[in-house]
Amino acid sequence: MAPGRGAPRRALRRRGRAAAPSVQGDEARPGLDVHLRPRRDARLLHRRHGLRRHRDGRRGRPPGRVPAPRRRAPQPGARGQGAARAAAAQPAHVEPGHGHGGRDVPAAPRRRRLPHRAGLRAPRRPPGGPAPRHRPRGLLHRARRAPGAALLLHGDRRVGRPPAPARPAAGRLRPVAGDAGTAQRHLRRPDLHGPARMSAVAIVGAGPVGQTLALLLARYGVGSVLVERWGAPYPLPRAVALAHESLRTLRLAGFDRPDLLEPWGLDGQEFVFQDAAGEVLLRTSFAQESESGHAQMYAFSQPLLEAELADLVSRTPGIEVRRGYSVCGIEQGPDGVRLTAREHDGMDFVPDGRELAIDAAYAVGCDGANSTVRDLLGLPLDADDFQRRWFVVDVDPRPGTVVRPYAAQHLDPSRPTTLIAGGPGRRRFEFMVMPGDDADAMDTDETAWRLLEPWGVHPGNADLVRHALYSFAARVAPRWHRGRGVLAGDAAHQMPPFLGQGFNSGIRDAAGLAWRLALLARGATADLLAGYTVERHGQVREILTETVAAGRLICETDPDLARRRDERMRRRGAEVRPGKAGWPLRCGTLRSGDPAAGTLGLQARVRHAGRTALLDAATDPRGPVLLIAPGLPSPDLPAALRARWAAVGGTVARLGPADGAPHLFADVDGDYGRWFARLGAAAVLVRPDFYVFGSGARLADVPRLLGDFLAATGTDTAVPPLPPDPREQQDAVNS
C-alpha cells in the first residue's frame, strides 16, 4: 500500500536525526513553507500540524489569513523521500512568512481542501484487528497529533513524490551549497518546547571572530548562519598584531595568505622602550619560530584579512550570511534558541524594515564591545578599572621611506606614543590624548600630520590611511554563557592594545568554542559551555592583568614618577628580553593534576608518506590528536575505546626518527624528541584547539588518558562519527 494518511505511523515518520533549523523572514528557500500569526512571539499556526483557537473560540483560519502550502524540498532516494547521507554541513533555512506585527510580507497563496481520493482513505479494519492509527481527515483537523517528523502531501496531492522544480519567486533565497541531501533534512518544524534537536549555530557578528567560528564549525560538519548589521565588512584598520597560535587557528579555518602578514623582527628589528629624549631603556625581540610552527608575532591589516575570511565564508558549504540585520530578541527553549532580527542599516533599525526569526541549537554573540547579545542574555561586564583615550593614526609610507624605530613605546610623560607595524608596508602611530587636548579638534587630518611630523612622516612621503579616537578599556564578563547563548570576542572581553592580545584572545575564543559546539551538536553530554567559560575567562583575566600593568607603565604622565620608572627600566635594560609567546590554560576541560595540561601543543615539521609538512597538514586536526614519543610502539587500545576515539575524530600520530619508516611521522628536526623529553611524557593528547589535554608518562597510561578525555567531553558513550571534511570534498569536486 502506498504510504498515505491511513498508513501506519512507522511509514510516516523519520527517525534518528534532528530537525533542520530554519529562518523565517522576508526571503525564503524551497522547503517547508510556514505561516506566522501577528502576535508578540509570532509562533507558527501550524506548530502542531493544526490551527490554534482564535479569539472567538473557533478552531480554524482567522479572517483574511490562510496557511501556506506545506511541502517538502526535493530529496534523492526512494520515491523522492529517501534520507540522503551526504556529510555537508547543515545551514539554517530561510523560509517565507508574515513578519511580526503584520509587516508587509507577501501573503501565502490560498490552499484548496484536499479531496478524499481512494488512495488516501483509511484502510478497512481487518476482522479482529486494531483500528487504523490515522484517520483520513483533512490536515486542518489534526490539532491533537503530537509534533514530529511526518510525511506531508506535496502540491500535486501525491504522497512520496516531490513537486516539480519551480523557478524561485522574486525575493526568495536560493538553496546554499551543501544544503540539499543532508542527513538532517526532516519535515519536523523546530519547536522550542518540543524534542527537536538542531545542529546549526546562529552567530551574531560577521567580524573576524564570527567568521573564524563559522569556518571552523563548517570543518567540523556543523552549519551556521551569520547575522551582521553592516551591509559590508568595515573597511578601515583596527587590530594589527597576530599571534602565532592565532595564525595556526586561521590556517585550520582555511586562511592561506602569507602575503598579507609581516613577521615582527624578520630582519632583526626589535621592540624598544624609549624615554622622552629617545634613549633606549629596554629592548624586546620576537623569534621567527614558536611552538605553533610560525613566527611569534605578525603585523597585518584587519580589512584585508577580513576580506579573505569573507571570501572563504562565501565559498564554504554550510554557512549562510545575513547582512543588514540586527538581533533584537532572543528566546531560549530546552532544545534551541530563537533569534529575532530586524533590518538594520548599520547605524539604526530601518523604519518598517523586515524581520527574521532564526531558529538554531545555539546562539553565539560575536557582536563586539557594545554587544546586543550580551545585553539580551543578561551577562554584564565587570567594572572598568582602566580607561584611557588614544588617537590612532595609520599611514602608508611611500617607496623608499623608512620610519624609525621599527616598533617602540615612546615613554614621554607629555604625550606617550606607540609606533608599530600595521601590516605589510604600513605603519601605525598611537598618541595618548592628554587632559588639555580638545577632543573635538583632535580627530582631524591636521592634527594627525602635526603629531606625525616629529617622526619624519609628512604628506610628501606618506599617505594618510585613517585616524580615529579610541577609548582603551579593560573589562571582562564574569560569565560567558547563559543556557544556549554564548559570548566570544569583544562581546566577552575588552582589552587595551599594549600587548597586542585583544584580537588574538577573540580567535582563541573561536577555537575553544568551535570544537565544543561540534561535540554538543553530535550528542556530547558534558557541560562543555561551562568549561569554555571557566578556561577562557581565566586566561583572558590573566592576560588582561598583565596588559593593564603595561598600560599603567606606558600611560604615566607625572614627570617625577616617569623619571623613576625610566631609571628602573634602564637598570634592567642590559640585555634583550624575549617577548612573551603565550599564556597557558589554568583550568577548564583539562586533565586534573597533569603538569602538561593547558600548555600549547607543539607543531613542528614531520615527514609522512613521503611528504614533509607541519604536523597539522599531515594529520586531521579537526579532532583530538594523540602524539606518541619517537621510538615507542603503538599503544594497545581495546576495540571499544578505539571505536569511540575514532568517532570523535581522534587520530594517533606515532613519531619516529628522521630516517624512520614511511608509516611513521618522522621528526625531521628533532623538535618532538626534545619536547617529549622536556615534558617527561611518552604520549600527549592535544585538543582540537591545540592545547594539551593531558599526557602519560608510559604507554600503559594511554587508555586511561583517552578515557579521561572522552569522559571530560561527555563522549564516552556513543556519538555519531565526525563527518568528512567539507573543504576536502569541495577540493575533490573542483579537481
With beta carbons less than 8 A apart as the criterion, state whether 457 and 397 touch. Answer: yes
Name 492's Cβ contacts closer than 8 Å, sequence gap at least 6. 374, 476, 477, 480, 509, 536, 537, 540
Region 641-647: mean pLDDT is 93
CA dist 725 and 474 (Å) reads 38
Count of helix runs (H) and strand runs (E) in the chain: 14, 31
**Residue 532 to residues 249, 363, 632: CA-CA distances in angstroms?**
17, 15, 34
pLDDT in tens, 119-154: 444 444 455 555 444 443 333 333 333 333 333 333
CA dist 521 and 197 (Å) reads 8
What burial class does residue 87 get, using C-beta atoms within 10 Å of its C-beta: 0-12 exposed, 13-18 middle, 19+ buried?
Answer: middle
CA dist 482 and 322 (Å) reads 24
Name 227's Cβ contacts closer than 8 Å, sequence gap at least 6. 202, 203, 204, 205, 206, 322, 325, 326, 327, 339, 341, 356, 358
3-state secondary structure (DSSP) of residue 634: coil
Q: Would you place residue 60 in the very low, low, confident or very high pLDDT band (cuts 50, 70, 90)?
A: very low
The predicted structure's pLDDT at residue 229: 95
**Over 90: is that where the pLDDT of 520 sits?**
yes
The predicted structure's pLDDT at residue 385: 75
CA dist 428 and 461 (Å) reads 15
CA dist 645 and 675 (Å) reads 24
CA dist 332 and 339 (Å) reads 9
| Domains of the chain by start residue, with CATH | 201-260+302-382+475-553 (3.50.50.60), 599-730 (3.40.30.10)
pLDDT in tens, 541-554: 999 999 999 999 99
pLDDT in tens, 376-417: 999 999 887 788 999 999 999 999 998 988 899 999 999 999
271-274/280-285 β-pairing:
antiparallel
Residue by residue, DSSP assigns 167-198 as PPPTTPPPPPTT-TTBTT--SPPP-TTSS---
The predicted structure's pLDDT at residue 198: 43
What burial class does residue 295 get, using C-beta atoms within 10 Å of its C-beta: 0-12 exposed, 13-18 middle, 19+ buried?
Answer: buried
Task: Tell me how far apart the 2 most distant CA atoms of the chain are, in Å.
Answer: 105
Helix or strand run (H / E) with residue 377? helix 372-377
Helix or strand run (H / E) with residue 541? helix 528-554
- Three cell numbers at 622? 579537526
Region 627-651: mean pLDDT is 93
Q: Would you place residue 733 in the very low, low, confident or very high pLDDT band (cuts 50, 70, 90)?
A: low
The predicted structure's pLDDT at residue 581: 81
pLDDT in tens, 346-380: 899 999 999 999 999 999 999 999 999 999 999 99
The predicted structure's pLDDT at residue 721: 77
Using H for helix, E for strand and C for coil, what is the string for 664-711? CEEECCCHHHHHHHHHCCCEEEECCCCEEEEEECCHHHHHHHHHHHHH
The predicted structure's pLDDT at residue 90: 43
Q: Would you place residue 212 in the very low, low, confident or very high pLDDT band (cuts 50, 70, 90)?
A: very high
With beta carbons less than 8 A apart as the criterion, state whether 233 and 206 touch. Answer: yes
The predicted structure's pLDDT at residue 108: 44
Lowest mean pLDDT among 187-196, 446-455, 613-622, 678-687: 187-196
Residue 400 has a CB neighbour count (10 Å cut-off) of 6
